[in-house]
Structure 1
């Protein structure tokens, strides 16, 4: 069952979309906290996002950029802002389509179906899965899995992004600023948050029996230097 994420602050419109979409057999998730849209996206991993432009805190263009930085899932704007410039901006920020309000529910469903077919169904482009490897470790960023010597652990999305960034520059120091920018873009996060994710990744590596791989370079950042069997 495909999962549709609805980012709409008008409760009446969000409810209308949710009820209509569910009638066609899709699962739905409505965002309630509009400063945590990306966190909800990462937790729920939807197959498609319906996104309004006018939102509290940050607008839909901002959240479209954040989602697009970590995912290629279809994003459809549904907005009362129907100017040509708004539609151009949506597409420029990574959206796949733009539906002006007031909308016809049948049109919304047709566009959802079309995008799902293009992304996952009969029209989907068959591409080779992306991997990042070093010293026998193989990271599957799209699966959120890490393997070594026949063993596999699952990763969170941020953990996979952190490890991918380090694995792409083995034996070289990656600055804390670079990692913060890569993982959280323009969002402000507490500096200790990065430490937490490094600790999590080290724990996942330890589960594989691959220890001591991530070195802290005081005052500079982190370096992936390979590990030793436990």
Structure 2
């Protein structure tokens, strides 16, 4: 049974989401003390986290930063705020998705199922290690290592890289990436994919590999392997 932590101070909404999650056989937890969010996160060890932006004491962005400092657990933001910068900020901080309130529960469940299926199933189907441009990619540890150093990727970033490498030196369409990542593109902003790819590139830049992920305008993205044969 997957454990889902809901960092939400609206008790009416929390109980409504908790009830729906339990109907789908998920184990749902809330925060008892918003001064001890990280302690409760550590104790619960959730498989996925839902975070509201507006919270007591510190906002959801703060807790996302804190969680990302310790874990790559999937994170979905829930917010009534509709400014584009909120979505961009959440993705830059390492969130996997953003759901605007009010939302239909079926949409939220679909997003949760897609992320859990991707994060906890795909690694079992892949070889643990892969070599790309003299760098070693560890799908189990979510790391990319080269002679320059090592970077750690989020689940979304690793999954994007995995899909691109499966079609190395070929264009992978944006629609294909969105469908693979989020299951149903009707529920996803096109900007969400752009932010995730840009974040992946920024991390790969630390290993001088960012330029090996090319944007093909109007088509999609391509992972370039040096010395094409």
TM category (shorter chain) comes to 0.5 to 0.7
- CA displacement at 1:123 relative to structure 2: 6.7
Give the direction of change, closer, same or farther, for the CA distance of 1:61–1:124 in structure 2 (3 Å limit): farther
- CA displacement at 1:32 relative to structure 2: 1.9
How many residues are treated as equivalent by the alignment? 130
CA distance in 2, matches of 1:57, 1:81: 18
Alignment-derived partner of residue 8 in structure 2: 8
Larger Rg: 1
Question: Structure 1, unaligned stretches of length 5 or more?
Answer: 131-230
Q: Is the 8 A contact 1:4 1:29 kept in 2?
A: yes
Q: Does 1:93 align with 2:93?
A: yes
SS at match of 1:117: helix
Alignment-derived partner of residue 27 in structure 2: 27
Q: Is the 8 A contact 1:117 1:124 kept in 2?
A: no
CA distance in 2, matches of 1:31, 1:98: 20
Higher helix share: 2
Alignment-derived partner of residue 206 in structure 2: none
Alignment-derived partner of residue 135 in structure 1: none
Q: Is the 8 A contact 1:118 1:124 kept in 2?
A: no
Q: TM-score, normalised by structure 1?
A: 0.54
Task: Map 1:157-196 onto structure 2 (within 5 A).
Answer: none
Question: Structure 2, unaligned stretches of length 5 or more?
Answer: 129-137, 142-229
CA distance in 1, matches of 2:46, 2:69: 15
Higher RCO (C-alpha under 8 Å, 6+ residues apart):
2
Alignment-derived partner of residue 121 in structure 2: 121
Give the direction of change, closer, same or farther, for the CA distance of 1:36–1:96 in structure 2 (3 Å limit): same
Deviates more, 1:118-127 or 1:59-68: 118-127
Q: Is the 8 A contact 1:64 1:93 kept in 2?
A: yes
CA distance in 2, matches of 1:66, 1:111: 23
CA distance in 2, matches of 1:93, 1:108: 20
Q: TM-score, normalised by structure 2?
A: 0.54
Deviations 1:134-175 (A, max 9, x none): xxxxxxxxxxxxxxxxxxxxxxxxxxxxxxxxxxxxxxxxxx
Alignment-derived partner of residue 51 in structure 1: 51
Deviations 1:161-209 (A, max 9, x none): xxxxxxxxxxxxxxxxxxxxxxxxxxxxxxxxxxxxxxxxxxxxxxxxx
Q: Is the 8 A contact 1:117 1:123 kept in 2?
A: no
SS at match of 1:4: strand
Alignment-derived partner of residue 189 in structure 2: none
Alignment-derived partner of residue 195 in structure 2: none
- CA displacement at 1:125 relative to structure 2: 7.3
- CA displacement at 1:44 relative to structure 2: 0.6
Deviations 1:31-72 (A, max 9, x none): 121121111111110000000000001100000011011111
Task: Map 1:59-208 onto structure 2 (within 5 A).
Answer: 59-122=59-122, 126=126, 127=128, 128=138
